[in-house]
């Protein structure tokens, strides 16, 4: 130990290094006292194959030898011998895209790494070790990041953890002094300086549309109960009423392309594409409506294929017809079987998604799909409409079979098959 060091160590990371920071908490390192981690996965299967669908951006860094050789070598390696060895070793690594593509189920075994990768690589598998280690945790996320639910779930399972969620993309924090906040956190836990952070509520989140930060000690918010929106002929019906029976069929378009504003890489966003799938809108809002939390989908569908991918978008329709995607959920129909999660969840349905849980569809036979939407905090303005769009494909899908038979999907909502989506609508503060 250096004379200037107390021996207390902190770790900082986001995305891949955020995962690394979380895994540092699993080994009970006696000197690790604080971790500041952003945009990581609590459970890798739920993060990277959400709903059983390989529809994520995340396939890890892919670099050529030439790119690696352009990196400055370490001191003493002026001849770049060690750098060349490292670059060649990187080329022998298992490509994440091929690895994840080969693991459709939560219990899939990966011969390339000789493990049940989803379990071995998930922080959730080591919850007891994390709790035993006792390091303080500060989580950062963004309402437009694919992994935003993972941070909220991690916080529920690690007592004392703090979380900050802005209206940000993956590992972005524009307009927020994140380094100063991390400094405040580390000063408290590494130097025992009273920075006041212990007296702050543990959850800080930005409300998009209200354009303000709020703080709370509870998630889900007690003042944001789930309000059902029945899917009915003619649109959405809010509350207990069911509305007119609905039975509407659409063909899945596997040629779907991203919209201009989708972006790419780790920050790629969902799109509303006119004419794709089925859209149902509610009435024009007479007053602003705040949705803060996790939406819950409870849908009845039928298809003409043994399986179908379902994507549900929550959208904001402006008076001029402009449509903005607020959040999303998805589920592979054959993996619809519900189970009890082995960790705490904020009132969400959970699918074990083992190989033994596969339930193929029978042509024309209705099945019930229950899944959550990624969390959000968003205000729909007065004069706007809330809309749900259901599709069977998404421009972010990876490894989709181009020869796959297009599914005809039927959304059903009637007395025997009541389809609805519930949203956590916050009351006046």
What's the average model confidence in pLDDT over 398-408? 73
Among residues of the chain, what percentage have pLDDT more than 70? 95
Residue 271's pLDDT is what? 80
Nearest to 124 by CA among 412, 343, 408: 343
Does residue 80 register a pLDDT over 70?
A: yes
Tell me if residue 251 falls in helix, strand or coil: strand
Among residues of the chain, what percentage have pLDDT more than 90? 78
Query: Could you give the CA distance from residue 69 to residue 88 in angstroms, rounded to a whole number?
Result: 10
Q: pLDDT confidence of 207, banded at 50, 70, 90?
A: very high
Domains within the chain, CATH numbers bracketed: 9-43+122-216 (3.40.50.1820), 226-426 (2.60.120.260)
State residue 412 phi and psi, 5-degree precision: -120, 135
Does residue 265 register a pLDDT over 80?
A: no
Query: Could you tell me if 85 and 428 are in contact, meaning their C-beta atoms sit under 8 angstroms apart?
Result: no
Give the count of alpha carbons within 13 A of 383, CB side only.
5
| 9 contacts: CB under 8 Å, gap ≥ 6 | 29, 31, 32, 33, 190
Q: What's the pLDDT tens digit per position in 324-356?
A: 999 999 999 999 999 999 999 999 999 999 999
Q: What's the pLDDT tens digit per position in 232-263?
A: 999 999 987 677 899 999 999 887 777 767 76
Residue 275's pLDDT is what? 75
**Average pLDDT, whole number, for the chain?**
92
Does the reported pTM lie above 0.85?
yes
Residue 112's pLDDT is what? 84
């Amino acid at each position: 130990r250096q004379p200037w060091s107390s021996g207390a160590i902190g770790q900082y990371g986001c995305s891949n290094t955020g995962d690394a920071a979380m895994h540092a908490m699993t080994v009970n390192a006696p000197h690790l006292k604080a971790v500041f981690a952003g945009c990581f996965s609590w459970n890798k299967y739920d993060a990277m194959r959400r709903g059983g669908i390989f529809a994520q951006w995340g396939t890890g860094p892919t670099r050529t030898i030439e790119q690696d050789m352009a990196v400055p070598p370490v001191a003493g390696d002026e001849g770049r011998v060690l750098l060349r060895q490292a670059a060649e070793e990187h080329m022998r690594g298992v490509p994440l895209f091929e690895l994840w593509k080969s693991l459709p189920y939560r219990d899939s075994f990966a011969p390339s790494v000789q493990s049940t990768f989803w379990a071995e690589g998930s922080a959730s598998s080591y919850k007891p070790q994390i709790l035993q280690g006792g390091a303080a945790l500060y989580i950062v996320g963004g309402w437009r990041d694919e992994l935003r639910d993972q941070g909220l779930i991690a916080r529920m399972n690690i007592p004392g953890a703090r979380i900050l969620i802005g209206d940000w993309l993956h590992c972005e924090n524009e307009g927020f002094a994140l380094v100063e906040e991390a400094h405040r956190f580390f000063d408290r836990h590494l130097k025992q300086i009273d920075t006041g952070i212990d007296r702050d509520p543990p959850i800080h989140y930005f409300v998009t549309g209200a354009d303000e930060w709020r703080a709370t000690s509870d998630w889900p918010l007690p003042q944001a109960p789930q309000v059902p929106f029945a899917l009915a002929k003619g649109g959405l019906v809010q509350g207990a009423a069911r509305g007119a029976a609905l039975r509407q069929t659409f063909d899945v378009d596997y040629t779907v392309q991203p919209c201009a504003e989708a972006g790419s890489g780790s920050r790629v966003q969902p799109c509303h594409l006119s004419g794709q799938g089925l859209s149902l809108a509610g009435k024009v809002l007479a007053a602003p409506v705040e949705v803060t939390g996790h939406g819950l989908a409870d849908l009845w569908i039928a298809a003409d294929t043994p399986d179908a991918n379902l994507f549900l978008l929550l959208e904001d329709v402006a008076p001029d017809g402009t449509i903005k995607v607020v959040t999303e959920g998805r589920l592979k129909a054959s993996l619809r079987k519900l189970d009890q999660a082995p960790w705490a969840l904020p009132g969400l349905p959970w699918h074990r998604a083992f190989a033994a849980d596969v339930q193929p569809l029978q042509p024309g036979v209705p099945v019930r799909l229950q899944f959550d939407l990624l969390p959000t905090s968003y205000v729909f303005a007065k004069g706007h409409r809330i809309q749900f769009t259901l599709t069977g494909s998404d421009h972010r899908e990876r490894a989709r079979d181009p020869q796959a038979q297009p599914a005809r999907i039927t959304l059903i909502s009637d007395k025997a098959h009541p389809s609805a989506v519930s949203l956590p609508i916050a009351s006046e503060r």
